[in-house]
Amino acid sequence: MNKAINIILLFATVFIAIGVFGDSSDAAIDDTFESGDFSYRVIYSGSYDHAVAVTGYTGSSLHMNIPDTVTYESIEHMVLYVDGTFYSNLSNEIVSIHFPKYLEDFSESRFDGFYSLESITVSTENDTFFAHDDALYKISGDDTLLLMCPQEKVGTHTIHEDTTHIMDYAFENCTRITTVDIPKNVSIVTISAFNGTDSLNAINVSEDNEKFASADGALYDDVNKTLIKYPLGKTASEYVVMDGTVTI
């Protein structure tokens, strides 16, 4: 009888310890620390889940590879977010960025100063983001959003066939892009999407697209009969708008 009581007390003690103390991590929300080539901020520290935002890059490589996880206070933390204060003194020299598998969100504006960026890759295990033809995309419900094409992307970018939205500033300052191919499922193109595309000479739209059309390299809203974008890189001395155009 005494042996049975001792066993019960032992298990009770273990369960109470787990409930009260969780794990042995001393990590607290908003703790900041450095590990490897990056600095981080703790954004969640519970009994079983731990997560951080990456706040900066301190490495010397021009190929920035954000890790899936990082260890802090002896506990593995998932890298879920690129912080709004993200900074690197190599911003204008970085040529590639790799995003990790647990990444859930980030501020696209954090990479405005990455003028030398040529390619973006994403872990194939990430369920929210993916890369295609060097650009960054996000899956949001039933929609697929083109978020960002790297500014030093050269030549043609063929937008992923599942894309529904071309977001604000997606091609901003992509001065070496010459051609963009838009697939049939795109239904939203923001006005600022092609800001600063000085070498762009053709925007081609799939004939199966029910919302947009192209004529001689220019982009039209075919439903509202509006000329949306005349490529800045075209050198023709004159241009005849598409028949039926109402608004320029």
Secondary structure, 3-state, 155-189: EEEECCCCCCEECCCCCCCCCCEEEEEECCCCCEE
Bridge partners, residue 77, by sequence: 70
Task: Check residue 120 and give its pLDDT.
Answer: 96
pLDDT tens figures, 176-222: 999 999 999 999 998 899 999 999 999 999 999 999 999 999 999 98
Give which of 202, 170, 174 is closest to 189, Cα–Cα. 170
Cβ-contact 113, 82 below 8 angstroms: no
Task: Check residue 245 and give its pLDDT.
Answer: 83
pLDDT tens figures, 85-122: 788 888 889 999 999 999 998 876 667 788 999 999 99
Task: Check residue 224 and give its pLDDT.
Answer: 79
Q: How far apart are CA 173 and CA 49, in angstroms?
A: 39
Q: What is the mean pLDDT of residues 159-173?
A: 96
Asked if the model's pLDDT at residue 46 lies above 80, the reply is no
Task: Check residue 47 and give its pLDDT.
Answer: 61
Task: Check residue 12 and give its pLDDT.
Answer: 45
pLDDT tens figures, 123-142: 999 999 999 999 999 999 99
Task: Check residue 13 and give its pLDDT.
Answer: 43
Instruction: Please report which confidence band the pLDDT of residue 10 belongs to, taking 50, 70 and 90 as the band edges.
Output: very low
Q: Which two tokens stand for residue 242?
A: 């598409």
- Of the listed ranges 4-13, 41-50, 129-138, the least confidently predicted one is 4-13
Provide the mean pLDDT of the chain.
87
Q: What is the mean pLDDT of residues 48-69?
A: 93
Task: Check residue 108 and give its pLDDT.
Answer: 63
pTM: 0.84
Task: Check residue 54 and give its pLDDT.
Answer: 94
Q: Name residues whose C-beta falls within 8 Å of residue 116's C-beta, 6 or more positions apart in sequence.
A: 62, 92, 93, 94, 95, 151, 152
Task: Check residue 144 and give its pLDDT.
Answer: 98
Share of the chain above pLDDT 70, in %: 88
Q: Which residue has the tokens 């300052």?
A: 173
